[in-house]
Every structure is written in C-alpha cells, then in structure tokens.
Amino acid sequence: MMLEPIPIQKLKQRFMLHLDPVLLYGLGALLLVSLITLFSATDASWARIGGQLINILVAFTVMWIVANMPLHWLMRIAVPMYLLGMALLIGVALFGDISHGARRWLNIGVATIQPSEMMKIAVPLMMAWYFEKNEATLTWRNHFFAAILLAMPVGLIVRQPDLGTSILIAASGFYVLFLAGLSWRVMGGLFVAALASAPFAWGMLHDYQRHRVMMLLDPSQDALGKGYHTIQGMIAVGSGGFLGKGYMEGTQTHLDFLPERSTDFIFAVYSEEFGFLGNLILLGIYIFIIGRGFIITANASTYFTRLMAGSITLTFFTYTFVNMGMVSGILPVVGVPLPLLSYGGTAMVTLMFGFGVLMSIHTHKRLVKT
Amino acid sequence: MMHKIELKNHQREIYFFRLRLFLSLGFVTVMFIILLLRFFYLQIIRHDYFETMAESNRIYVVPIVPNRGVITDRNGVVLARNYSGYTLEITPDKIADIDATIAQIGQLVEIKPKDLRRFKKLMSERRSLQTLPIRTRLTDDEVARFSAQLYRFPGVEIKARLFREYPYVETTAHLLGYIGRINQQEIDKLEEEELATNYLGSDYIGKTGIEQRYEAEMHGVTGFEQVEVDAGGRAVRMLARSSPQSGKNLTLTIDAKLQEIAVQAFGDHRGALIAIDPNNGEVLAFVSQPGYDPNLFIDGIDTENWDALNNSLDVPLNNRALRGQYPMGSTIKPFMALAGQYYNARPATREISDPGYYTLQGSSHRYRDWKADGHGRVDLFKSIVVSCDTYYYGLATELGIDRMHDYLEKFGFGKKTGIDLEGEVSGLLPSTAWKMKRHKQQWYAGDTVSAGIGQGYHLVTPMQLAFATATLANNGVAYKPHLVKDIQHAANEPQAVPQPLYDVKIPAEHLDLVKRAMVAVTQPGGTAVGASLGAPYSIGAKTGTAQVVGMKQGEKYDASKLSEYNRDHAWFIAFAPADKPRIALAVLAENGGHGGSTAAPIARKVMDYYLLGKVPTPTKTPDAKVSAEHD
C-alpha cells in the first residue's frame, strides 16, 4: 500500500471504489425506514435506535470489506467456510445450548455463536464454487452432489429446530441449482416427490411447527394462543387502511397488541402506521434493490459469480416475501425477520455480507474489463 | 437423456443462464403481485373489518351500575335503601384450588361457616367467569389488611359496592320481596327482552314483591365508560363516558307504622292482613305472617337458613295475602244479602223461621245452623248481625248458584285483583258451568246450600276479600288496589290520579241496610261485639270461619301441633268509620278459631292507629275481653 498522504478526494474514491452507488441508495433508504419504524415500534427508545445504528455500522463495515475482497479470495474461502460451518452444526447438534426449546447456539468459549447464520452464505458459496470447478463437464451427477451439499446442513438446521433459517438456506441453495441449469424434469420430479413426502414431512415437524401451519389455515381457532401472532398481525395491517394511522399512532403497536414488533413483526408496525401507500413505497424500495441485484447478476462475468449473485438476490427476495407473507397471514409464522428492517445484528451482518459479495462481483468485473 | 457438451459455447451458456434469470424475475414479479393483492385485500377491501377488530382490541367498555331506587312508605319512611360497603369476591374460574385459597383468605379476614355455606351454594349455581362473594360487609380494618396482601391472591378482589338493605326486615318481607343475584334464567329473559346491555354490570335483580314488579323503574340506566386498554388489560386513558341514571325512587301507599302495628298485632298467629283506603284503592298495610328476613337472600341464602325457612311448618315463604286460598266462610253473607236484593229473590223484610237447621224440599238431610236451637225469626238485617246460616241456606237455594256467581263476580271474587305484585292467584268462584268443566259433574242442589255460607267450593285470597270489602265500603265504586303511590318523576310530569275501575251500582237502600247490619255486628247482639268496644268511631264488620279441610302439612309431622293446625281459620272484614269509610280491611288468622276472637282484635289495632293515631300499649291487649259467641 502507498504510504504517502492521500488527498480527501482520493480517499473518497478509494472508499467508494468497490461499492455500488445504486445499491447503496436502496440499502440506505431501507435502513432509514428501519430506524423510523423501529423508533415507533419501541415506543421511542433511543437505546434501541443506538443499538440498531451500531448493527448498521458493523454490517456496513463487513460489507465494505467483502466488497473489497477480490473474487478469487471469495472462492478460496468457500470450502473451508462450508466445512467449518458443517463442523459447527454438528457441534451444535451434539453440545449446543438449548434456548426456547431449540438447540441453535454453540458456546465456543469466547462467545456463543449461531452457526446456521453463517451457512446462509457458506452453502450457496460452496455450491457456486463446486459448479464453477465442474463447469466444463457438468452432468446430472454434479447437480446431485450439489444437492447433497445443500441437504446436509438444511437437515441439521431443521432438526435444531429452526424452520425459518432452514427454509432460507434451502431456498438459496435451490436458486444455485436452478440457475446452474437443473433440468426441468428433475425439478418436476422433485416437486412430485415433495408433494408425496408431505405427509411424512408433516410427521417430522415439531408440534409447534405443525401448530403454526394449522394456525395459518384458521387462526381464529386459537385466537389467544398460537393464532395470536397471525391475527394481531393481520389486524394491524388491515386496520392501517390506505394511508395508515399515522406515525407513532398505531394502536396495535403502541398498546402492545403486536408481538415481536421490533423484530419479526416490524412490517405490521410499518403497515399499520403508513398503510397501503406506505407498503407500496416499501415494496418499491425492495424491488429497486432486487432489480439492481438482477442487473448485477445478468452482467456477472464468470459462472461462479453469476450463480452467487443470482442466489444472493433471490434469497434477499425470499426473505422479504416470507416475512411479509407471514405478517399478512398468507404464510405460516416462521422466524424470518424482514431483511434490513427488523432489529438485530446477526441477520443484518449476513445480509450485508451478501451485498458486499454482490458489489465485489460488480466492481471487480468492471476492473477486470478495464 | 444427457447431453455432454464437449465444446463450451460461451454465448449459448449465457443465453441459457439469462433465460433462467428471466424466469426468476418473472417468479419474483408474480410473488410481489400476490403480496400486493394481499395488502389490497387486507387494507382496502377488509379495512373496515380490521379497523373494528383493532378498536375492539383497544376499547373496553366498562359498565357503571346505576344506584337502585329507594323505596319509602307514604310518609317517607325508608323501607329499602342502599349503603356502600366492601365485599371480598372470588372468581372461581381463575383459581385452581378454591379450598386452599379460601383457607388462606381465612387467615387474613374472618370467614364464618355461614359465609362458607353460602359460597358453596353460590358455587353450585354460578355462571362461568362470575365473581362470587366470600365475605360481605368487610370492616375498614379488614379492607386495609387484605388490600396489602391482595397480590398474593389472583382471582380474588375487593369490590366497593352498594348494598341493599331492608330495615323493616320481616315486617315488609312479603310486600317488598328482595333482590338477589341474577341467575341464568333471568339472563335469558333479559336477553329476550333486549335489556341485557343495561344489566352488563349489574349483579342483582328484583326477585319477588315490589322489587320484582318495579324492577324496570328501580334499576336505572347503566352508564358506560369507554376505556383504552393495552394488551395486558390495563386502562391507559378514558375515551368517553355516559353517566348512569339512578333508578327511580318509589313511594308506596303503605304506612310503615301501620304495617308494623299490624304485624305486631298478629303476635304468634299465622295469617294475613290487607288494609285498603276504599276511596282510591291505596293499600295501607299488606301483611303475611310469618315473614322472613329478606336480607338473607340478597347475596344468596346459606343452606342452613334456607332449610329452616323452607321446612318450617309455618311456611313463612308463602305469601298468604296474595297466594293463600281459603274458604270464605260467613264473610260471604253481606255480599249474599246484596245479591238477594239485587235479584229480588227474597225481600229484605221477609222473616224466616230458623229452627236451627235447613232442609231441601224432598230431602231429609239437615243443614245445621251454627246455633243448634236456631235464631228464631230472622230477617235480612238480623241474618247478618247474628250470622244466621239457615237464612243463607235458603237464600242461596232461591238465588241458584249461577246468579250467586254472577253477582259475587262484580266484587272481584274468582278474579285477580290486579294489585301490582307478581304471583297473585284468582281464588275460586263456582258455577254450574265451572263444575261441569272442572269436575265433569252437574251441579247439585246441596252444593248451593253450603255455598250460601261460603263453604264448599268457594275460595278467596285475603287480597280479594279486602278488595271486595273496600268496594262495598265505597258504595260499590271499585278502585284497583295498588301499592305504589308515586314513582319518582320530573316536577312537570303530571301525576296519575287513581280512577275508579267500575261501579257495581248498588241501590242506596240495599247498601244502607247491609252496612247498618254490619255496624250492628260490632254492637251488642252482634258476632263481634267486642270489636268496637270503646271505639270513638263506628265500625262495619263481618266475622267468618273457614273450616280447615286439610291444610297442606310439611314433611315433618308434629303430632302435638296437629290439633292446632286443624283448627278453623278466622276471618274478619271491616270498614271504618262506617258512615264515611277511610279504611277497609280483611284479616285472616290461620287456625285462629273464631273470627271475632282472634282476627277482630288485630283489625281493631290497625284501625285505631290509622284513624286515631293510637299506638297499642305493649302489654297484651284484652283479647279475652272481646267476646265472640260465634264466627
């Protein structure tokens, strides 16, 4: 690195070198909405706003670092990261701490970590790396092996149990398979197999997971129990109307009827106070980001980067859809936060890691070209 | 089928990739459209529904129970009042182990076995989520002591409430009735009448008596407070409030002191007394003895007290004045005398010869007069004074049962008087048609003979006899007997003045003769000679004896009491002052024997107080001095 002093302008240029301004606008808008909504959801708690600002700072730093990483570095860490993740998952299954009836955390002496979170990146990374390695001689066998690479961590996470995370990882892996040209016939076969195994899968689910699915079909049958989340979420969204009840005026929010309103149900808070119009704007921001992701994907230069960028973009969409669908009552309540809106550092770091990868793909390709 | 692409075509690969990416874009678009439609559905189409849901989440309507109207007598003496106090109440549905909870409560405030028994009884009748009192009338000290420990008892609360109290206790029991906790049946009825909203916070409803009949007036209009609550049910702020409207106060026609004197005059006798102002139908005293303590019923009576009342041989819970049906006995005679003249069946001056019995033509059966050797020559006037049975055996035969029926009906016999209390019964006024319908038998001449002296099929309630006496006293102009003089009203609202129901239209000379004869009843030579002894006003009266055919006995059969319960019932009807009656009454003393000896002194005390303001001396009034040759 150069040791001579750099002018401010140069410093700024260096800082922005691997960042994508278009994505930054979108992410910035989303994070602004997050802070505004969080302020209402927490009844004007500056402490929570401060906490979220720190989360944003950390996540942004991670994104910047990742964005500045050359792509071959990213490829180089794929295998170790995946193996480490698997090891940790097995460790969780054997020695993990139990909290809220689920075994998700592993105490590694210095800190307690949740290995499933890092697998959100590690799994698609590993699969994309694998396809890249076998690009020249791609057969159905490669797809099959990639599917196993996906199934192992997903299976372990389902058993923790953590339905939300396993759905997201399964989706991210599936997107890699799909974009890597998984044959339509296999997909059709998988679809049929999934339907056929549904009764079996039902038996594998934990009681609380089954309840959540049942509640989706008829939340009112247990309005004060398992259906409470869904009902209160729908009431909040529905009572928002076209223009919403006004900022800080949501009764569902401020009288504590909404559960988990700064995390998984933050969309209900937003929706109650800003209404249908607000939802249109928010969906617009998400579409803007996802659209940018598609453009980056379409222009990616290598097989690996195309698969990776596509998976990250589509996973981000999946996050959004599953959370909004759950809050508005068309999907069962699974623990999926609304990306970049919900309070919480872990999910944000993971997501921004993904955007870092997207930016790296975009900017390093540009550099390669020049 | 697999293709092995030996030579990679970069452009072709990108084309396939972009195709898949494009499909993904389509998928994303479709899914976002689904979300958008869902938002549209929830926020636009079903917005009203969810808005209502959100409102009902946060808005809690708290009913404010109105104060129940107070009942006073005609002079403003309070007969039913409210006082504020504290109760300790339990919601059994919120408590797992009720016995343990009660035991713990018992360490802080005293819980008597009586409280426990009442609680158990309420438990067996409770509605879901209802709160039940374990202790009423907590002292300030107990409230303070328990409040400090309240957090230890979820499902237990101290409630500040208004309580109902009947200061005259037994004296007004059958008149006022009582309020009690609302039961499921009453809830159903309220819902049917669409009054349930008004009773949202109410725990009590009138069960019997005036309390029941004037429930609608006395309950008042429930107020409501709209409170915003959070998910934990804590009130955050008040949104709106509508004030409750207190129930209306009732002023009764009853004179509390008169009522009290009447009750005391009964002493240990069972029976009933109704005193009416014949000029307007106002009921001055309404007594059924024995009474009971209505205060016991308000929060649910405990089993021990209930059993005592319910199994008593004296049936204190029976409202004899309204629901007791007895043979009329000789009190029928003045009305028979009027009927005889009305139909011109037997001129008033015609004398019959009374050998001490009566026989029907072509029969040897003797209907005996109460006086074995007869009254000698008897005209109408004398027949009332000496209560000659033979005279009326013959008169009844001459009239025939159906004409008797038609005439007596004008005085209200066989019909409810329509007094403002629930549960009145109509007695029995027989006729040939009635007997055919009821017994599928024709009417026999012999039936008519005994009907002439009020025995046989005739049954009256004390209420009916009082009404008939008042109508007679008021020269045939009948007023509906009523207990409520005034319902609290705005100053400019006109007050209804009692209007006569009808006029029997008794010719003056008939009336004059019968009334004079009734006055003579209380004079020397009459059957109630003692009744007017020393009275500065004249009394018209008639005695009567109702033979006890077989009184319904309680389960416990007490041999030593048998004789007493089989004694005749004593009747006494009277009006005074005779020339311009201000009070008319009917007294029944169950198993009292002769009307003149037990019933008449009771009536006299009531009249003395009402007309003279004379309060009887606590020493036993000279019952024995009042001689009574017969009924």
Active site residue B560: no
Residues B557 and B578 in one domain: yes
**DSSP letter (8 states) at residue B372:** T
CATH of the domain at B110: 3.90.1310
Reported as a pLDDT band with limits 50, 70 and 90, residue B627 is very low
* Beta strand residue intervals within B488-600, DSSP E: 500-503, 540-546, 569-576, 583-589
Residue B550's pLDDT is 39
Residues of chain A with pLDDT under 70: 1-6, 100-101, 108-111, 212, 215-226, 365-370
Residues B272 and B367 in one domain: yes
Q: Are B75 and B82 within 8 A, CB to CB?
A: no
Higher-confidence residue of A111 and B316: namely B316
Spatial distance between the Cα atoms of A65 and A69, rounded to a whole number of angstroms: 6
Is residue B312 in a domain? yes
Average pLDDT for B128-145: 81
Domain count, chain B: 2
Residue A160's pLDDT is 83
Residues B260 and B247 in one domain: no
Between chain A and chain B, how many beta carbons pairs sit less than 8 Å apart? 120
Is residue B185 in a domain? no
Residue B234 neighbours by CB under 8 Å, 6+ apart: none
How many angstroms separate the CA of residue B296 from the nearest CA in chain A? 41
Residues B373 and B246 in one domain: no
Measured between CA atoms, the residue of chain B closest to residue A236 is B54
Is residue B356 in a domain? yes
Residue B318 has pLDDT above 80, yes or no: yes
Phi, psi of B475 (to 5 degrees): 60, 35
**DSSP letter (8 states) at residue B376:** E
Residues B355 and B481 in one domain: yes
Residues B435 and B545 in one domain: yes
How many angstroms separate the CA of residue B222 from the nearest CA in chain A? 28
Contacts B58 to A, Cβ<8 Å? 251-252, 255, 257
B398-416: per-residue pLDDT in tens? 999 999 999 999 999 999 9
Residues B96 and B117 in one domain: yes
Measured between CA atoms, the residue of chain B closest to residue A284 is B32
Is residue B274 in a domain? yes
Residue B561's pLDDT is 53
Residues B340 and B431 in one domain: yes
Exposure on the CB side of residue A327, measured as CA atoms within 13 A: 30
Can you give the residue range of the structural domain that contains B432? 256-612
Spatial distance between the Cα atoms of B443 and B430, rounded to a whole number of angstroms: 10
Residue B129 has pLDDT above 80, yes or no: no
Residue B92's pLDDT is 79
Spatial distance between the Cα atoms of B56 and B228, rounded to a whole number of angstroms: 10
Residue B307 three-state SS = helix
- CA B609 to chain CA centroid, Å, is 26
Residues B133 and B246 in one domain: yes
Most A CBs within 10 A among B43, B45, B53, B226, hence the mutation to make, goes to B43
Residues B296 and B227 in one domain: no
Q: CB distance from A325 to chain B under 8 Å? A: yes
Query: Which residue among the candidates B246, B288, B330, B383 is catalytic per the annotation?
Result: B330
Residue B357 neighbours by CB under 8 Å, 6+ apart: B366, B367, B368, B369, B374, B390
B51-71: per-residue pLDDT in tens? 999 988 888 888 888 899 999
Is residue B177 in a domain? no
Residue B557's pLDDT is 39
Mean pLDDT of chain B: 86
B357-367: per-residue pLDDT in tens? 998 888 888 88
Residue B160 has pLDDT above 70, yes or no: yes
Residue ranges of alpha helices (H) inside A159-258 are 163-179, 184-204, 207-217, 228-240, 251-254
Residue B482's pLDDT is 94
Q: Tell me the C-alpha to C-alpha distance, in Å, between residue B509 and each of A121, A127, B100.
A: 119, 125, 79
Residue B1 has pLDDT above 60, yes or no: no
Is residue B373 in a domain? yes
How many angstroms separate the CA of residue A9 from the nearest CA in chain B? 38
Nearest CA among A370, A364, A366 for reference residue A74: A364
Residue B625's pLDDT is 38
Q: Do A294 and B21 touch (CB under 8 A)?
A: yes
Q: CB distance from A134 to chain B under 8 Å? A: no
Residues B578 and B544 in one domain: yes
Nearest by CB: B53 against A239, A317, A329? A239
Residues B299 and B422 in one domain: yes
Q: Do B57 and A251 touch (CB under 8 A)?
A: yes
Residue B622's pLDDT is 43
Residue B495's pLDDT is 74
Return the minimum-mean-pLDDT range out of B175-184, B219-228, B492-501, B570-579. Answer: B492-501
Return the minimum-mean-pLDDT range out of A268-272, B97-101, B603-607. Answer: B97-101
Tell which of B200, B232, B252 closes a domain.
B252
Nearest by CB: A136 against B8, B50, B58? B8
State the DSSP H helix or E strand holding residue B143, giving kind and residue range, or none if neither: helix B140-149
Spatial distance between the Cα atoms of B304 and B306, rounded to a whole number of angstroms: 5
CATH of the domain at B546: 3.40.710.10
Measured between CA atoms, the residue of chain A closest to residue B39 is A276
Is residue B9 in a domain? no
Is residue B193 in a domain? no
Most B CBs within 10 A among A237, A273, A299, hence the mutation to make, goes to A237
Measured between CA atoms, the residue of chain A closest to residue B51 is A239
